[in-house]
Structure 1
Amino acid sequence: MRLYFKQRFFSWLDSYDIFDENGNTVFTVEGQLSWGHKLAIYNAGGEEVGMVKEVVLTFLPRFELYINGELAGTLSKELSFFRPRYNIDFNGWHVEGDFFEWDYQIEDEQGNQVASISKDLWHMTDHYVIEVNQSGDALDALMVVLAIDAEKCSRQ
């Protein structure tokens, strides 16, 4: 399954649209006022299905991931040099990026690729392509992209 992640151009808070290969909206993301990033994820029917909340005042960046209002777990950045690395504590996924922080691979506990994320550089706003092997992993992969993008935004 391929998803196209597009940040909206004019928005005071973070807001994104996520489309499938046919151009249908699969998810929308709306930023909310908060201390740190707080991003609510809505399905095509407008129902909130997830949320990414930045945990502030931590040594390394950490984000809480909520699915249907329940805390599923956290995504935490690891201390690393040259290549960003993240761990997700509720599904055993590990995320590693390239030197330029444009492309990322998500792997499960056995080292199998779950998804790949590529940044599309030729746009005024953030655009990513998310390749997910199983459609059931789409929401989790989207939350990973949102957390990584928020973490990069906080550094700038």
Structure 2
Amino acid sequence: MKQLYIKQKVFSLSGKFTVKDQQEKDVYFVEGSFMKIPKTFSIMNTKRDEVALITKKVFSWLPKFFVEVNGREVLTIKKEFSFFKARYTIDAAGIEVHGNWWDMDFQVVQHGQVVGKVSKEWFTWGDSYRVQILNEEMEAIIIAIVVAIDCVKADQAAASSAATT
């Protein structure tokens, strides 16, 4: 089992942050596009090779995010129409997310087997997540799922604050 940590910088306009291992060494670099359409997040390994890309669909009535890992689309996160509480679904072949993914406390399941666990770290400055990788072949996908869900949450928070002003 491998344990990784994602800590976003609260005041980073560009959306740059790193994924670290237990020894606090950088394992992945995440860079968001700033003032660019479509909004994207690129996840790169230590050699700066892109291993995953998250893209927000432009010109969509409801928000939709596409997640590519190693050049192929592995999942889509989309907002469902609802009157009261925001509801999102994750579409992926053989991959499911069980638990409360809105609060970042969930398991990633592939074909009925748990391949990763995600939990939010409390009492930290900014959003920090602990990611347990149980199947190392799924590592890039699990990191991409965490970043994509966090991107969806940030997008929802921005939309909510814009609606109240």
Q: Normalising to structure 1: TM-score of the pair?
A: 0.82
Is the Cα–Cα contact under 8 Å of residues 65 and 143 in structure 1 kept in the other structure?
Answer: yes
Does structure 1 retain, via aligned residues, the 8 Å contact 2:106–2:119? yes
Name whichever of 25-34 and 75-84 sits farther off.
75-84
Verify the 8 A CA contact 2:106 2:118 in the aligned structure 1.
yes
| Cross-structure match for 2:49 | 47
Does residue 87 of the first structure (1) align with residue 90 of the second (2)? Answer: yes
Give the 3 Å change call, closer, same or farther, for CA 85–76 of structure 1 in structure 2. Answer: same
Between stretches 22-31 and 54-63, larger displacement belongs to 54-63
Aligned pairs for 1:3-42 (under 5 A) are: 3-33=4-34, 34-35=36-37, 37-42=39-44
Does the CA contact (< 8 Å) of 2:51 and 2:69 recur in 1? yes
Aligned to 1:126: 127
Give, in angstroms, the shift of residue 134 of structure 1. Answer: 1.3
1:64 is aligned to 66
Matched, 1:146 2:147: yes
Q: Where does the alignment leave 5 or more consecutive residues of structure 2 unmatched?
A: 158-165
Give the gaps of 5 or more residues in structure 1: none
Q: CA offset at residue 117 of structure 1?
A: 0.7
Q: TM-score, normalised by structure 2?
A: 0.78
Structure 1: distance between partners of 2:121 and 2:16: 17
Aligned partner letter, 2:46: A
SS at 1:121 equivalent: coil
Is this contact kept in 2: 1:84–1:97, CA < 8 A?
no
Tell me which amino acid in the other structure corresponds to 1:4: Y
Give the letter aligned to residue 153 of structure 1. A
Alignment coverage as a number of residue pairs: 153
Report the CA distance between 1:53 and its aligned residue.
0.8
SS at match of 1:123: coil
Q: Distance in 2 between matches of 1:83 and 1:58?
A: 16
Larger Rg: 1 or 2?
Answer: 2
Matches of 1:31 and 1:67 in 2, distance apart? 16
Structure 1 residue 62 displacement after superposition:
2.6
The alpha carbon displacement at 1:51 in A equals 0.9
Root-mean-square deviation (CA, aligned residues, Å) is 2.6
